[in-house]
């Protein structure tokens, strides 16, 4: 039996939280490049709200997947708190609700700063967090999961961060959101690639189930290779605008590893490495945009 702290950390999945940090960092960097200043309190609330939404989503997913029979003690992925009996479903659902309520509190402040566009974005994000594994047809049980990640942990997160700092949106910001959302979608793709058989047994029709493992491997490589190339193309001219290209060898190594590894627990490290790839790409994008300031 795990200790309570380690059980809660397993449910929160802290290693995945970089997919919230990365787009906020990119959006803030572009805002600083364009305006020359940042509102620190607004940035802190943006990051906190995003992290709380992701934590709430992870917690709700832990409980909901167990209740639907998707997560069992013999799942190939990392152990889940409710499935292992470390925490009860009601405990985790209560923590998910608390996390989303705290995110809503951050959203109230951000709505005061950004007005109705941020209200609508915040409500959509909270609804999506619940609908990802909740409701009669959860997003996670359809081929739309990767698109959900691309939109909310890419476009919406970057654009929302930028809008809160500047009160405007520009085409490069939206494109930057797409760029940083590509490897974030790759994180979920690896997760669903690993869990294909157990997902199918539970009636979960993910994108990997729709396109097959071969198609998923090709899509994974496309996501990882296109992101640094697009980031380089998008970057404003500077001596460091080429920095995102440094991640291309990492993309090649990760794609080759996916082709060599057998589906199952061996893929677990690759999931975390894909998340780190996104964070490294985001940091290089930040440096490139700030160097052009």
Report the percentage of the chain scoring pLDDT > 90: 64
Q: Flag whether pLDDT at 25 surpasses 90.
A: yes
Query: Which residues, including other chains, have CB under 8 Å from residue 1's CB and lie 6 or more apart?
Result: 85, 86
Segment 156-172 mean pLDDT: 95
Residue with tokens 């009996």: 85
Spatial neighbors of 219 by CB under 8 A, at least 6 apart, are 189, 207, 211
What is residue 133's DSSP assignment? Answer: T
Q: Is the pLDDT of residue 257 over 70?
A: yes
Please say whether the beta carbons of 122 and 163 come within 8 A: no
Would you list the domain boundaries of the chain? 4-291
Report the pLDDT averaged over residues 16-36: 95
How far is the first Cα of the chain from the last one, in angstroms, to the nearest whole number?
53
Architecture of domain 4-291: Orthogonal Bundle (1.10)
State residue 175's pLDDT score.
Answer: 96
- Closest by CA to 75, choosing from 63, 66, 67, is 66
pLDDT band at 2 (very low <50, low <70, confident <90, very high): low
Give 112-129 pLDDT, tens digit per residue: 999 999 989 888 887 877
Q: What pLDDT digit, counting tens, does each position of 167-191 carry? A: 999 999 999 999 999 999 999 999 9
pLDDT band at residue 3 under the 50/70/90 scheme = confident
Question: pTM value?
Answer: 0.91
pLDDT of residue 75: 66
* Predicted pLDDT at 77: 67
Predicted local distance difference test score (pLDDT) of residue 256: 96
| Closest to 288 measured CA to CA, from 153, 165, 172, 154 | 172
Triad 50, 60, 158: Cα angle to 5°: 20
């Amino acid at each position: 039996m795990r200790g309570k702290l380690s059980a809660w950390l397993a449910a929160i999945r802290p290693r995945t939280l970089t997919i919230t940090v990365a787009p906020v960092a990119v959006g803030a960097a572009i805002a600083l490049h364009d305006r020359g200043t940042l509102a620190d309190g607004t940035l802190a609330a943006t990051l906190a709200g995003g992290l709380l939404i992701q934590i709430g989503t992870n917690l709700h997913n832990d409980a909901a997947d167990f209740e639907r029979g998707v997560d069992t003690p013999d799942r190939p992925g990392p152990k889940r708190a409710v499935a292992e009996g470390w925490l009860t479903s009601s405990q985790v659902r209560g923590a998910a609700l608390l996390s989303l309520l705290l995110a809503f509190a951050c959203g109230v402040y951000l709505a005061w700063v950004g007005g109705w566009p941020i209200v609508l974005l915040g409500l959509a994000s909270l609804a999506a967090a619940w609908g990802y594994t909740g409701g009669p047809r959860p997003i996670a049980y359809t081929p739309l999961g990767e698109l959900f990640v691309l939109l909310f942990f890419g476009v919406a997160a970057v654009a929302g961060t930028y809008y809160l700092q500047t009160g405007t949106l520009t085409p490069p910001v939206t494109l930057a959101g797409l760029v940083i959302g590509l490897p974030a979608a790759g994180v979920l793709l690896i997760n669903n690639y690993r869990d294909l058989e157990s997902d199918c047994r539970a009636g979960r029709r993910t994108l990997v189930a729709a396109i097959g493992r071969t198609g998923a491997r090709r899509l994974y490589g496309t996501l990882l290779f296109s992101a640094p190339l697009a980031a380089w193309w998008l970057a404003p001219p500077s001596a460091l605008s080429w920095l995102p290209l440094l991640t291309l060898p990492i993309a090649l190594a990760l794609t080759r590893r996916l082709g060599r590894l057998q589906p199952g627990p061996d893929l677990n490290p690759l999931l975390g490495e894909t998340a780190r790839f996104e964070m490294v790409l985001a940091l290089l994008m930040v440096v490139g945009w700030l160097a052009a300031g």
